Structure 1
Amino acid sequence: MTERLLPETLDFNRPFPALSRRLRLGVVGGGRISATQATAARMTDRWEVVAGALSSDPERAKARGAEWFMDPDRCYASFIEMAQVEATRPDGVDAVMITTPNNLHFPAAKAFLEAGIDVICDKPLTNEVDEATALIDLTAQTGRVFGVGYVMSCFPMIRQAREIVAEGRIGNINQIHVEFLQDWMTPDDAADAPHVKWRLDPKISGPTSCVGDIGTHAAHLASFVSGLGMTDLRAEFHVCGAPKPLEDTVFMFTRFQNDVPGTLMATRLAPGNRGGLRLRIYGSEGGLEWDLENAEQLKFYRFGEADRVISRGHGHGVSTVTERLVRTGRGFSEGFIEAWANLYTEFAMAVAARRDEVALPDDWLSFPKVAEGAAGVQFIAASVRSNEKGGEWVAI
């Protein structure tokens, strides 16, 4: 009998269903974000981490794998070997998370797609636009599921904000503002830390540092909630702290579909800001504001009416669609790990549906996909071109 993961009968208006077994997840890259994502994936009760390429050194790979309670035979020193071997095992991984430095995203994702394994990859998707385009094509050719780690789009109040905009409750959008302010690079010696050095190395990080790391989160969030693609931008890169080979700050004017204007700024040198991702969208009838450091609340304004604050939870202004991503009642906080868990829950539903050959409604799952990852790479490339031209407007 062929294995079936999803229930025979699906009610797409209900919470996401349990699967018949946990999906098997592999890990490529052994840094801090891989541990964060693995914790979140386990939280969903839909994934178990079973294999990994956590280091290119064979002994270190096995030692790191032991910390993750992996079978020594499934601790690989090469993601290419991992893809080939896991694809032939009867209990091979159902999907792989890729959390390596940026320059390895493309070859790792390519290897697993070609092996027939579903992929979820950290952002930026790749360092080059042609590589991102190649992954879109390869995903289509293989028919595999490809998720991208724009986790900010998976907070419940962001999903609620997206619904409010889509329903026309703020009217026609007339401006979009987004910023991502952090302060961890303020000390002059911050760049000496091992996990920071590669982020400032163009051979590894790509042509940007701040833009590719947190600017892409801001750009994706603005388009995700507004439903409008960014079409043009003008960017200025700055090094506001100690000298560095790549920017630590960026200021942008942006333009979206329908000629909607906006602004975007990102920096790692704003003391007092740890996760200062803030989104503001205003329209002809109202507006929305959301702040990552107060992620459980969404400010919703309609001109001429009392201001509202919608809080994460069940009911009281939260839609049934958003409630699928809510785990605890109001007053019992949820945050970053839960947002990652929401991403991995939706990714699991997509992987299970592909394996079961079940067609899903287009609006059932909203996790970021490969095309959104490619849009992020195009955004980065456009920002580089604009900065090189002295901050001229360029098309994305």
Structure 2
Amino acid sequence: MKPSHQVFFSRLSCFHKAPLSQVRRCNMSHKLLPTDLNFDGPFPRLSRRLRLGVVGGGRISETQATAARLTGQWEVVAGALSSDPSRSAERGKRWYLDPDRSYSSFEAMAASEADHPQGVDAVMITTPNNMHFPAAKAFLKAGISVICDKPLTNEIDEAHALVAATQDTNQVFGVGYVMSCFPMVRQAKHIVAQGGIGEINQIHVEFMQDWMVPEEVADAPHVKWRLDPKISGPTSCVGDIGTHAAHLARFVSGLSLTDLQAEFHVCGAPKPLEDTVFMRTKFAGCVPGTLMATRLAPGNRGGLRLRIYGSEGGVEWDLENSEQLKFNRFGEADRVISRGHGHEVAPHVERLIRTARGFPEGIIEAWATLYAELALAVAAHKDGVSSPPDWLDFPRVEAGANGVAFVDAAVRSNATSGSWVQV
């Protein structure tokens, strides 16, 4: 074990700035992580499953709950699945929740679970965008860790407030940038960080979808709110899939996005918000790039593609072929690294892999990786364990705030006819 990766237990960290209810639960709990934890080895099993709450009962909540269960580290025990009491109770039955822990408001859920002797260890927030901030704030204040869908908030001031609240309450806060949790994305990040492509000189990312091509799709209930500025915020395409693209570029390159030039378009049927965006981008060190996103590209279902080129080579990854990573060193034969144990996959990436090469994994497993890392972060927080910064790589609240800053900059640029603006 590396000296910097030795376990350090601090009972005080469990109580730092924590509400009284959290202190009681912390004091009553047993250690979740093994005492001989090796941060360089495979992820450990916890001494018990963590208790997960759900706010928002839409389709993505079911996807994430499935992924959380897949890890073996979580069980869903409480939820505010609708603001309508009868609908919330009915959904609670379908989720096999105790009726006493099926709530019709996140405020009631946060207050009750904070005082419950077996209260939730964390909560997933999968509501429409405008509810992310108040819900996340309520659970942080109650001493409960959070994982929130992106965009983190609709307003940049709210994003900064959640960063501050996370620090003040000393909770774990994850953000649903799941695309960064595919093993081959982690491998791409490893190659770039190790200098495998030399000095980065350009970054290109695009997210092409086709589900908005039919005009009638805008009338679907799960689509209407995405086109309503009061709920979705000032953007639709940019805040939804553009933020995935921007985060992926920053995550793999390790560079901050500093400037952008954006043009919003409605390429299909008339809509109150954009369905397409074209951007020129600049990253730290004046590295240039492009970012494009649309929901009107027939033939593209999950067309998220990342290409990073440097002075010595390049990496390319495609969501629709997510198990493979193209890696080129200029003047050498192209290499294709595939997900699975061995095959030049870094050890810290191998521990994210659940099946051998030839047995495909996909988006559910990527979500499971996010929830597995979140579980370990929550467990370390509750045990008072200080973990090395490179142990877990899930997106945190700061990444969510960066995403909101990206959206804000895109809106400002588009409003000034595509001028360059700072992020």
Residue segments in structure 2 that go unaligned for 5+ positions in a row: 1-27
Paired position in structure 2 for 1:391: 418
1:327 corresponds, among 354, 358, 361, to 354
Cα deviation digits, residues 140-170 of structure 1 (max 9, x gap): 0000000000000000000000000000010
- Amino acid corresponding to residue 110 of structure 2 in structure 1: A
2-side partners of 1:51 and 1:68: how far apart? Answer: 9
1:151 corresponds, among 178, 203, 220, to 178
CA RMSD of aligned residues (A): 0.5
Q: CA deviation at 1:9?
A: 1.0
1:372 corresponds, among 373, 378, 399, to 399
SS of alignment partner, residue 189 of structure 2: helix
Q: CA deviation at 1:183?
A: 0.1
SS of alignment partner, residue 409 of structure 2: helix
Alignment of 1:168-187 (within 5 A): 168-187=195-214
Paired position in structure 2 for 1:41: 68
Are 1:308 and 2:335 an aligned pair?
yes
Identity across aligned pairs (percent)?
75
Q: CA deviation at 1:2?
A: 4.7
Cα deviation digits, residues 63-118 of structure 1 (max 9, x gap): 00100000011000000000000000000000000000000000000000000000
Alignment of 1:1-396 (within 5 A): 2-396=29-423
2-side partners of 1:74 and 1:234: how far apart? Answer: 47
Residue segments in structure 1 that go unaligned for 5+ positions in a row: none
Cα deviation digits, residues 14-34 of structure 1 (max 9, x gap): 110000000000000000000
TM-score when scaled to structure 2?
0.93
1-side partners of 2:191 and 2:226: how far apart? Answer: 36
Cα deviation digits, residues 156-214 of structure 1 (max 9, x gap): 00000000000001000000000000000001111010000000000000000000000
**Taking structure 1 as reference, are residues 50 and 2 closer, same or farther at Cα in structure 2, changes over 3 Å only?**
closer
1-side partners of 2:154 and 2:58: how far apart? Answer: 19
SS of alignment partner, residue 277 of structure 1: strand
- Amino acid corresponding to residue 303 of structure 2 in structure 1: G
- Amino acid corresponding to residue 109 of structure 1 in structure 2: A
1-side partners of 2:408 and 2:69: how far apart? Answer: 35
1-side partners of 2:238 and 2:196: how far apart? Answer: 31
2-side partners of 1:46 and 1:213: how far apart? Answer: 28
SS of alignment partner, residue 273 of structure 1: coil
2-side partners of 1:162 and 1:40: how far apart? Answer: 23
2-side partners of 1:382 and 1:311: how far apart? Answer: 36
Moved over 4 A (4+): none
TM-score when scaled to structure 1?
1.00
- Amino acid corresponding to residue 381 of structure 2 in structure 1: R
